[in-house]
Structure 1
Amino acid sequence: MPDVRIPASPVLTDTEAAALDAHWRAANYLAVGQIYLMANPLLTEPLRPEHIKPRLLGHWGTSPGLNLVHTHLNRAIRDRDLDALCVWGPGHGGPAVLANSWLEGTYSETYPDVTRDADGMARLFKQFSFPGGVPSHVAPEVPGSIHEGGELGYSLTHAYGAALDNPRLLVACVIGDGEAETGPLAASWHSNKFLDPVRDGAVLPILHLNGYKIGNPTVLSRLPEDELDDLLRGYGHEPLHVTGDEPLAVHQAMAAALDTALDRIDTFQRQAREGRSPERPRWPVLVLRTPKGWTGPAVVDGLPVENTWRSHQVPLTQVRDNPEHLRQLEQWLRSYRPEELFDPTGRPTAQVLSCLPEGEHRLGATPHANGGLLLRDLPIPPLEEHAVPVDKRGNALHEPTRVLGGLLAGIMRDTARRRDFRVVGPDETASNRLDALYEVTAKAWQGEYLDTDENLARDGRVMEVLSEHLCQGWLEGYLLTGRHGLFSSYEAFAHIVDSMVNQHIKWLRTARRLPWRRPIASLNYLLTSHVWRQDHNGFSHQDPGFVDHVLNKSPEVVRVYLPPDANTLLATADHALRSRDLVNVIVAGKQPSFDWLTLDEARAHCARGAGVWQWAGTEEAVDGDDGPDVVLACAGDVPTLEVLAAAELLRHHLPELAVRVVNVVDMARLMPHGEHPHGMTDFEYDALFTPDKPVVFAYHGYPWLIHRLIYRRAGHAQTHVRGYKEEGTTTTPFDMVVRNDLDRYRLVMDVIDRVPGLGVRAVALRQAMADVRTRHHAWIREHGTDLPEVADWTWTG
């Protein structure tokens, strides 16, 4: 398949080429205007310092190339009647995408005060990177966007997520050569091994090589062309090149390359859908090589700017104070011949608009970029079909995530025809006990099949790849375009996507403030194989800190749940999967654990978020008119087990002690009501935890998180938190809690140490508890298993 450069014969007529060039020049003019101007948008008078913004912000260098892509996508969409979406990867390319949105009319439809005339153009210019305006990058405020412009490295995985289960959708993805150097982007090229040409849409990567980042050359732009082609072919793509700096010639080459790419995509999909092509397609990739800062100032203050790193941001600085720079800026703006592009009222001319598609086919108007418009409620089977019976608390064992797997399989079954639910994870679906999904669907796979393979299919809706970045990006793209999903991961390695979830949370927070953005399905994490049951994998797999990271973020968007048993996990998942515009983090174990609550109790407990388990304490059995003597609090499945075991020890050895057991499933409940919508008022908190009685809190993660959440509560000084404190290794399950002082015996000792007067009265019990811990250390080193009284324990209360 030959590369496409300057075509031997013109693809465009002179009229078509002139119209595309006019649109491109208009977009370039608008991009420059956004960076510099706050008045005189049509240059109806000589440019003066007061027309210039006092602070010059924005990024010019990538904008001409993005404008070229947008212009040519318009032509292709119009001529082929395509449903299309574009993901704009190159960093802060906001001026270009905003300019094109305004030209096609979607910006004015979304923001009626920014009209498509001179007044609207002035508002468009002034608002850019201006207080009270819009950011300098592609953001939720921009119609047609699903990708935050600051998210370097994630554009291609977002594009593939958008294409999944969207068979009529073309997703173009512009990849900057700077972001192409990132690890996530390098892995994202493998997404084509998971794209089904029958049931999914197509992704057209457009690698934009303009040579430079902020201050350095880019790696891919300096590769010899044959080496770059070998790299892209190795990823499974067939490159089509567009190279040049002479506009009309580049327009011809770009049109030819885009036509060729779309023809090949159409052929691949048609053959696959007719059952004539079982092989994985070698999808096209466009390699667009244009100068950085193309059409901008060539030289400034004697230094080269165009086609260098100096054009990356603002090529001409201090324009208000430097007459020569002001002169150059005016010359630059007038070089686009705005009088040919806009009529005297500031409206784009018919020639500029002639290449545009109409209605929802415009890139800024596609409903796929406002996924809530397409979202349907998820059919969730009745929880009663999957709940476990609880005839006697703390005696029967179930694997909570396996129970959840049955529910997820039911959802997968009920969405088989509509195909709008996916489960993603890094090679851990079966390990995390969710393999009931395979009774309904398989894992997506477009590569070679061997006889030893299991649960692979071209139309599978479970997606596994050993890259958390790809899992996160696929799911984000899927959700933002109106579908549902869940991300299952080992707890310790969720940190790999810390920066990605940051950006998604920021996106959701901003989108919530835009009335035209419709709510989308929440991003749901299931973190399992967690810190307390990674005793076999060891220290490297023991880190519960993702919860801390998420709870630092916008309270209106984030939720963290720690269900203590299987039925509570079902109720929590049901709530999370029905929610909108949130990031829900659910931490639950996959190992056999005790069942504590019936389904009805679990639903009520989840609705409360935190509550007293009266059956576990002794407060009512003891004359406790003044409330409990001590509160044993817990959050997480293993801490709950240890607290209940400690409560039972106290019931047996100190029957006169009034013990209250509080379980927290919704971590945000601990926060003040004014700081989080789920937070408790001080009255509610004091009623639950008491304002002055000692609280011993066994927590799943790092103990200081609890202190941070409750530090302003009346009872904070009396609260002692036990949790993970970076004491881990390959050892027995119970030894993990002993190493971190979270075990039942240590908790009993904490109670004795903190209840006034108990230290002297219960000294023998405290000594006995310490002795068990000593015996534990000797036992595991001799037998390799936990103490029988721990391994065989059941709740007898």
Structure 2
Amino acid sequence: MNEQASYVQNNDLSPEQLNQIDAYWRASNYLSVGQIYLHDNPLLKEPLKIEHIKRMLLGHWGTTPGQNFIYVHLNRIIKKYNINMLYISGPGHGGPAMVSQTYLEGSYSEIYPDISRDEAGLKKLFTQFSFPGGIPSHVSPECPGSMHEGGELGYSLSHAFGAVFDNPDLIVSCIVGDGEAETGPLATAWHSNKFLNPVSDGVVLPILHLNGYKIANPAVLARIPEKELLALFEGYGWKPYLIAGDDPITMHREMAALLDMVTEEIKTIKRLATANPDGERPCWPMIILKTPKGWTGPKMVDGLPVEGTFRAHQVPLTNPVKNPEHLRQLEEWLRSYRPNELFDDNGRLLPELIALAPDGERRMGTNPHANGGLLLKDLHMPKFDDYGLDVSERGIAGPGDTLVLGKFMRDVIRLNLENRNFRLFGPDETLSNKLDAVFETTERQWQAEIVDSDVFLKKGGRVMEMLSEHQCEGWLEGYLLTGRHGLFNCYEAFIHIIDSMFNQHAKWLKVTSGLPWRRPLASLNILLASHVWRQDHNGFTHQDPGFIDHVVNKKASVVRVYLPPDANCLLSVMDHCLKSRHYVNVVVAGKHPSPQWLSVEEATIHCTKGIGIWNWASNDDGKEPDAVMACAGDVPTLETLAAVSILRSKLPELKIRVVNVVDLMKLQPEREHPHGLNDTDFDALFTKNKPVIFAFHAYPWLIHRLTYRRTNHYNIHVRGYKEEGTITTPFDMTVLNEMDRFSLVQDVIDRLPQLGDRAAYLKQAMKDKLIEHHHYIRENGIDMPEILDWKWAI
């Protein structure tokens, strides 16, 4: 702290400037308290009365004054140094602060003209907060300048780094709450500084806000010794500066001096890195700000301490409508900010205070990076059909679907190197998921030590890998939210780690799609490889396809799920997903060698439709089918076609229709999902009364959920993953879950009683094959030759 103290002594801010900064802060706090409590009398032109108070009080005061303090001081350095800066509010419910700040700087009223910068506008500003038909209590998409949902506790720093990748002139001030700092994603996110290129990327300035408490408990980082706290962040590779206190003028003076010093350090780091791009990884500054929780609020309420305690977290004065003492304290609290010194008689902030805010797009509420669709440019895309496999015969062996995709992704990266607007993210699985080819044109970005035995590491790589699904997802979301494109590849079983992050991003997309001033973003694209049916070597822990169930819970206008059956279909699907806007696209694909079914031309047509009859595998043309064999996913498609080949060989009189599903949402009615089939088209595929044997990639009940309103739902029998798994052979995984070809044949026989004795011997043969399989794999450790060498031969 000696360096900081020395700098404070030489600070050149005049008393007038300090007083103006304090006045702006008081105005911010006044507006914040007003949002929580008032729906009338916004300037306190008359004594506060019960009828001026909202009947339902919702909001969070505790973090708000500290965030107002930070925002005011960031405004100063933005103006002084002409900084391009974003503000990310990590403490979940700091909504009053950001709404107050964007209102004071004018950006709020520009987007919402009815919330005008006068007394009438203040009344509306206060009334709408946490009010039916109004705005949420946290930082939300409705708030200008926001790109991070207030409910996303733990992801702020990940989003901040994602925002600055490939934005060399951008600084993101990321406010990290001390409660948020206890989450796993946030604790890991401090290591993102090892991935930040000081030349081609921007800067993240973390400001850890220690106000001592979470909802009801002390915060861990606020209760450890200062020496230990500083050592922690030095060990993370940061240069921490600690500033603490509760006297406003002293804190203003110290914060102004510290931000000047930190800004100069950042400028120096960037300048030296530009002069010597191969230099050592810089030690970026960060700030630890300790202020009382609920700073400047009521000291005592009902005989209990509030300011500086957990009681300041939400609404400190809980019942001013029925408790006269609470009403008196509320008025005293509001008047302590001296609003008559801040606003004129019309309710407009005084001109000398308005002048403290930055101008135009330098205001953090109007920075275009917070509305990334404004900056979004189309990717330069190669023609996906140039990468397709030559399917000279049905079922020809392919090298692995994602291996084929890798070459396509390689050239997506190559074509966009100059624009620097596409990155590939994944938790150390890019090679494992067989996207090897991308390393022919790029490397992994890496700023830590590189030794001779390392491969594919470089300071300027386009692949982002860290063994934390949280960080990969958070980085990608921040990258997308600021107007770029990307793809996240992950093992299917472990994508669940980001369930809540997906939730919040999907909700963000849903809400922003209804805000005309928000522009569409590039879609969040998630590729799930190393999937459930080919995790036989890793066992039960790696076998879980349930993320699909989680995804389809979200708004139909946002989510899409694709199950391409082969490499050419995967190319077509991925081309579509990378070009799409404002969706979450989940694509499940295999990485192991597998049969190929469609030419590129056929795949393009099939994937465009999303669902269709495979005429070449069916034999019901011109006749009514006896049964429909449906499939969704690469392994289910293989087993279905193998079952069809048995049935058509052994029971040639049987009329079978094969329906393949690529776009899972086609199964929903069109009234429930924009991709859904109408009932007439669905019935044309699946019939109104014939048995449907459906082999599905994931948990069977999802198909029932998607089709339960369909005419023929009672005839749909689904086979899929039913939580049976172990270390075994690939085919045995399907046997364990009764989705194998021999079980599917039996399912058809069981649902066609008219076959009678004609099918008895075939059913017995299928049971015998399962017994034979059981003994064979336990003796030989691999699947039977007839499984490994099976070919489509009809």
Measured after TM superposition, the shift of residue 306 of structure 1 is 0.4
In structure 2, the partner of 1:211 is 212
Q: In structure 1, what is the equivalent of residue 307 of structure 2?
A: 306
1:12 CA displacement: 1.7
Which stretch of the first structure deviates more once superposed, 97-106 or 254-263? 254-263
Structure 1 residues 306-351: Cα deviation after superposition (integer angstroms, max 9, x where no partner): 0000000000011111111111000000000000100000000023
Counterpart mapping for 1:663-678 below 5 A: 663-678=660-675
The residue that corresponds to 1:502 in the other structure is: 503
Aligned twin of 2:4: 4
SS at match of 1:423: strand
Asked if the contact 2:401/2:590 (under 8 Å) is kept, the reply is: yes
**Paired residue secondary structure (1:757):** helix
> Which residue number in structure 2 is paired with residue 252 of structure 1?
253
**Residues 87 and 159 in structure 1, CA contact (< 8 A), matched pair in contact too:** yes
Structure 2 CA distance for partners of 1:793 and 1:2, relative to 1, 3 Å: farther
CA contact (8 A) 2:357 2:363 kept: yes
Instruction: Give the letter aligned to residue 114 of structure 2.
Output: D
Unpaired segments of 5 or more residues in structure 2?
Answer: none
**Code of the aligned partner of 2:685:** L
Code of the aligned partner of 1:601? E
Rounded to whole Å, the distance in 2 between the matches of 1:39 and 1:230 is 49
Asked whether 1:41 is paired with 2:42, we answer: yes
**Kept in 2: contact 1:405–1:437 (CA 8 A):** yes
Query: Which amino acid in 1 is paired with 2:763?
Result: R
CA distance in 2, matches of 1:122, 1:5: 42
Residue 619 of structure 2 is aligned to residue 618 of structure 1: yes
Shift of 1:702: 0.4
Partner SS state of residue 396, structure 1: strand
Change (3 A) 1:439 1:2: farther
Per-residue Cα deviation, 1:444-488 (whole angstroms, up to 9, x for no partner)? 100001110000000011000000000000000000000000000
Q: How does 1:711-750 map to 2 (within 5 A)?
A: 711-750=708-747
**Where does residue 706 of structure 1 map in the other structure?**
703
Question: C-alpha distance in 2, partners of 1:756/1:41?
Answer: 77
Provide the C-alpha distance between the structure 1 equivalents of 2:535 and 2:215, rounded to a whole number of angstroms: 43
Partner of 2:635: 638
Deviation, structure 1 residue 11:
4.1
- Give yes or no for contact 1:5–1:242 (8 Å, CA) kept in 2: no
Alignment correspondent of 1:442: 443
Residues 11 and 252 in structure 1, CA contact (< 8 A), matched pair in contact too:
no
Superposition pairs of residues 155-174 of structure 1, within 5 angstroms: 155-174=156-175
Larger mean Cα displacement after TM superposition, 473-482 or 591-600: 591-600
Counterpart of 1:725 in structure 2: which amino acid? K
The CA deviation at 1:4 is 2.9
* CA distance in 1 between partners of 2:84 and 2:549 (Å): 41
* Counterpart amino acid of residue 420 in structure 1: N
Q: Distance in 2 between matches of 1:413 and 1:134?
A: 43
Give the aligned residue type for 1:206: I
Does 2:263 match 1:266?
no
Alignment of 1:380 with 2:385, yes or no, is: no
Q: Deviations over 1:236-273 (max 9, x none)?
A: 00111111100010001111111111111111111011
2:397–2:593 Cα contact (<8 Å) kept: no
User: Which letter does structure 2 place at the counterpart of 1:203?
Assistant: V
TM-score, scaled relative to structure 1:
0.99
Please report how far the alpha carbon of residue 778 of structure 1 lies from its aligned counterpart in structure 2 after TM superposition. Answer: 0.2
Confirm whether residue 183 of structure 1 aligns to residue 180 of structure 2: no
Q: Report if aligned partners of 1:242, 1:289 keep a CA contact under 8 Å in 2.
A: yes
Q: Which residue of 1 aligns with 2:761?
A: 764
> Per-residue deviation at 1:277?
6.2
Identify the residue that residue 276 of structure 2 maps to in structure 1: 275
SS of structure 2 residue aligned to 1:584: strand
* 1:476-503 residue CA offsets vs partner (Å, 9 max, x unmatched): 0000000000000000000000000000
Q: How far, CA to CA, are the matches of 2:149 and 2:5 in structure 1?
A: 31
Aligned residues of 2:429 and 2:489 also touching (Cα < 8 A): yes
Tell me how far apart the structure 1 counterparts of residues 352 and 305 of structure 2 sit (CA, whole Å): 34
Matched residues in 1 for 2:524 and 2:754: separation? 49
Q: CA–CA distance in 1 between the matches of 2:399 and 2:550?
A: 30
SS in 1 for 2:389: coil
After TM superposition, the structure 1 = structure 2 runs for residues 363-512 of structure 1, keeping only pairs within 5 Å, are 363-512=364-513
Contact 2:625–2:657 (Cα < 8 Å) also in 1: yes
Q: SS at the partner of 2:4?
A: coil
Corresponding residue for 2:287?
286
2:385 touches 2:571 (CA, 8 Å); kept in 1?
no
Aligned to 1:557: 558
Once residues 5 and 123 of structure 2 are traced to their aligned partners in structure 1, the CA distance between those partners, rounded to angstroms, is 38
Question: C-alpha deviations, 1:652-682, integer Å up to 9, x for none?
Answer: 0000000000000001000111111011111
Q: 1:2 to 1:202 in 2, by over 3 A?
A: farther
> Distance in 1 between the 2:10 and 2:756 partners?
94
Residues 143-162 of structure 1 aligned to structure 2 (within 5 Å): 143-162=144-163
Q: Could you tell me the TM-score, scaled by structure 2's length?
A: 0.99
Letter in 2 for 1:749: Q
Q: Would you say the 8 A contact 1:11–1:255 is kept in 2?
A: no
Once residues 371 and 353 of structure 2 are traced to their aligned partners in structure 1, the CA distance between those partners, rounded to angstroms, is 26
Write the distance in 2 (CA, Å) between the matches of 1:250 and 1:2: 16
Q: Tell me the equivalent position of 2:346.
A: 345
Instruction: Tell me the CA shift for residue 10 of structure 1.
Output: 3.6
Q: Shift in Å at residue 760 of structure 1?
A: 3.1
1:539 equivalent in alignment to 2:536: no
- Whichever residue aligns with residue 690 of structure 2, its letter is K
Q: 1:5 to 1:691 in 2, by over 3 A?
A: farther
* Pairs within 5 Å for 1:508-657: 508-620=509-621, 625=623, 627-657=624-654
CA distance, structure 2, for counterparts of residue 651 and residue 760 of structure 1: 17
Closer, same or farther: CA 269–759 of 1 in aligned 2, 3 Å: farther
SS state at 1:527 partner: strand
Are the equivalent residues in 2 in contact too, given 1:360–1:367 (CA < 8 A)?
yes
Deviations 1:91-147 (A, max 9, x none): 100000000000000000001110111111111000000000000000100001100
Q: 2:783 aligns with which of 783, 786, 794?
A: 786
Q: For residue 166 of structure 1, report the CA deviation from its aligned partner.
A: 0.1
Alpha-carbon distance in structure 1 between the residues aligned to 2:763 and 2:352: 87
Runs of 5+ consecutive residues of structure 1 not aligned to the other structure: none
Q: What is the one-letter code of the residue matched to 1:149? A: G
Residues 1:56 and 2:57 are matched in the alignment: yes
Q: Percent identity?
A: 61
Distance across 1 between alignment mates of 2:683 and 2:255: 67
* Residues 26, 352 of structure 1: 8 Å contact kept: no
CA apart distance, 1:597: 0.7
**2:359 match:** 358
Alignment-derived partner of residue 203 in structure 2:
202
